[in-house]
Structure 1
Amino acid sequence: MGRYSRLRRIQRLDPHKDYEQIFWWLTQYEFPWDYLQGVSVAFLRDYGVPRISQLLDRTQEFERAGQKRYDDTVLIAYEMVREGMDSEHGRATARHLNRIHGRYRIPNEDYLYVLATTVVGPKRWIDRYGWRALSPQETESMALVGRRMGEMMGIAGLPGDYAGFERLHDDYEKQMFAYDPANRRVAAATLRVITGWFPRPLRPLVARVALALLDEPLLAALGFRPQPHWLRTAAHRTLRARAALVRRLPARPDWLPHRAKPRSYPFGWTLDDLGPHWAHSRPLAPLAEETSPQEQQ
């Protein structure tokens, strides 16, 4: 298979009908590592909003079980799409996600923003550091998967395309980014998770490189100083060099999708393993389309 063969297949598809197939190829074959990095940046962007970080700080999930919290967030999205979002498994995953969130009073606009970060964050990362930029079909597939996920969660006011998600994302940050001590605590806990993947002597450098990849408005909201120009330049050039190397490697064959290897589940996982321990004793929350308008209010 040539390096651009799968891209040509994707370009022949209609993202409005085939968005799940395109999204699967995008995340499991074309950009598995880059997509996860974009999601990691999305986590950190959420913490720039005091209302969101204060809730996460109160739960202490990242302090007590940060790696599991990180893995669970990534795996729930994987579980929702792996058999199709409207499959029985996909719908069961959405019910499980609704059950986890149902314990908290979360404004609809915060749901919208967090969802938008999972669409915009990976797109911007891949365009900047991936071995190629995303095609229009791939970009819209991410937006439409995000939209369908939001519909299953009962989120109102969902954008219809990527441009809408990007506009919502940027407008919300201009309005809501502000420093709060909770922002820094939750961000620091997440950075401890990320740096924990590396040998101990490298962890201080890894933390600084991670911060070097963040923009100044986000750093200010998290309470971190910008890293020196030389470090930001070095981090950028290293990732661009990686992209050039990956571009020269053979494409991942169809029979070898990316295998999730979450550190919290070395022997595998089931849907019931994902989420806080208390979530497994609560009844399943229905999907939005399974409730009446009166019940949704």
Structure 2
Amino acid sequence: MDYTTAHEIVKTTILREFPFMYAFSTQFALIKSYGIASGTKLLVQTRRLTTESKVGKRSEDTGVLLGELLVSGIDSPRGLVALSKMNWIHNQYGSKIGNDELIHTLALFILEPPRWIDAYEWRPLTEIERVALFTYWKEIGNRMGMRDIPDTLAALQRWTADYQAENMRYAETNRMCVTATLNLFVRPLPGFLQPAGKSIMACFLESHVRPTLGLQDPPKLLEAAVGSVFHVRAFCIRHFFLPRFREMNVLGKERAGGKIVRESYMFEPWYVPAGVLDYIRRRVFGVRQVPGPEWMSEGYLPEELGPVEFKLRCKDAVLAEAEEMRKYAEKGGAGVIGCPFRYAA
């Protein structure tokens, strides 16, 4: 299977078959990656994940970037620029991000969604769907300059298990990153419900992972209740819901001038156009988190995603790499000509 064929299968998997569970599982794949202390140490140093005013934008940008890579595709104009921007951001930290750390995060994006889907969805993934996820994400990893990515899905599973056994340990920086992320998840809840919300979130992580993140095991009854809700959902979807006849639209729409606006958001209204109702909510009722200029309601260009301070100075370099990557893709990508891209010196 080549990565272009894999992309078509991946799109069907995440836009028709399991859109909710795929998106949900990738959120927790990121949380699980915080069990590696060498990675969380850098995240804490940058303060982009542990600062309340920045964590929302980082999460929204991550979702937008993944959407461009997985749905637009890494050979599309938007996907090329989005992946080049992600490479540029990683390049700012050079050797502080190890090759194995990147492979581990890549592996979680490949392995966690099938684990969740098999456990909680209306049917398990087929072998073709699993291989497609591996093949497509491996091409993304190649274009990010990762070296020595395992050649098969089974080999990646073994590599990941060995890496976690050796490197997944508790550190205070792990707890800080997880706390900031869970605080973002429960932010919309009243204060007295937020501890319960965090306990529910902990139910979605395996028991051997929680201690590495500084999380306590939730009550067994709560864990069983959460699992039951998902199993009831799966039963209802399998027996009472019609299949989707078209792909879900999760990408933003391009406006004149090339800016892309979103129709929805998860935590903060970045890149969502402001309407009259939003203006009333802001001016009359004092609601802050509604679309407006401070949330870049005019939209985004893929090269502008990421930390605000990088917005202008990276543009030329990102677009130049996107053009190089376009030529590279025309020749067949890593499966044909190897991997010329490296995120670090």
* Per-residue deviation, 1:211: 0.6
* Per-residue deviation, 1:284: 2.4
Aligned residue for 1:54?
41
* Per-residue deviation, 1:172: 1.1
In structure 2, the CA distance between the partners of 1:150 and 1:197, relative to structure 1 (3 Å rule), is farther
Which structure has more helix as a fraction of its residues?
1
* Per-residue deviation, 1:82: 2.9
1:252 and 2:244 matched: yes
Partners of 1:20 and 1:141 within 8 A in 2: yes
CA distance in 1 between counterparts of 2:342 and 2:87 reads: 17
Matches within 5 A, 1:58-73: 58-64=45-51, 65-73=54-62
Q: CA RMSD in A?
A: 2.5
Aligned residue for 2:233?
242
CA distance in 2 between counterparts of 1:126 and 1:295 reads: 31
Which sits farther off after the overlay, 53-62 or 85-94? 85-94
Matches within 5 A, 1:207-226: 207-226=198-217
Which sits farther off after the overlay, 179-188 or 75-84? 75-84
TM-score normalized with structure 1 length:
0.87
Partners of 1:34 and 1:126 within 8 A in 2: yes
In structure 2, the CA distance between the partners of 1:110 and 1:189, relative to structure 1 (3 Å rule), is same
* Per-residue deviation, 1:76: 0.7
2:65 is paired with a residue of what secondary structure?
helix
Partners of 2:67 and 2:250 within 8 A in 1: no
1:264 and 2:269 matched: yes
Partners of 2:36 and 2:168 within 8 A in 1: yes
2:229 is paired with a residue of what secondary structure?
helix
Letter in 1 for 2:242: P
Aligned residue for 1:42?
29
Of 308, 314, 317, the residue aligned with 1:284 is 317
* Per-residue deviation, 1:212: 1.8
In structure 2, the CA distance between the partners of 1:80 and 1:213, relative to structure 1 (3 Å rule), is closer
CA distance in 2 between counterparts of 1:74 and 1:273 reads: 14
In structure 2, the CA distance between the partners of 1:208 and 1:144, relative to structure 1 (3 Å rule), is same
Aligned residue for 1:80?
69
In structure 2, the CA distance between the partners of 1:236 and 1:15, relative to structure 1 (3 Å rule), is farther
CA distance in 2 between counterparts of 1:256 and 1:230 reads: 35
CA distance in 1 between counterparts of 2:310 and 2:98 reads: 20
CA distance in 2 between counterparts of 1:235 and 1:255 reads: 28
Partners of 1:50 and 1:178 within 8 A in 2: yes
CA distance in 1 between counterparts of 2:130 and 2:15 reads: 15
Of 184, 191, 194, the residue aligned with 1:193 is 184
* Per-residue deviation, 1:16: 6.0
Matches within 5 A, 1:90-109: 90-104=79-93, 105=95, 106-109=97-100
In structure 2, the CA distance between the partners of 1:17 and 1:179, relative to structure 1 (3 Å rule), is same
In structure 2, the CA distance between the partners of 1:292 and 1:188, relative to structure 1 (3 Å rule), is closer
1:64-96 per-position Cα deviation (integer Å, ceiling 9, x unaligned): 322221121122121123333223332222111
Higher alpha-carbon Rg: 2
* Per-residue deviation, 1:264: 3.4
CA distance in 1 between counterparts of 2:341 and 2:137 reads: 22
Aligned-pair identity in percent equals: 24
1:256-292 per-position Cα deviation (integer Å, ceiling 9, x unaligned): 4456732432235431342111232224253796696
In structure 2, the CA distance between the partners of 1:228 and 1:220, relative to structure 1 (3 Å rule), is same
Aligned residues: 284
CA distance in 2 between counterparts of 1:223 and 1:32 reads: 30
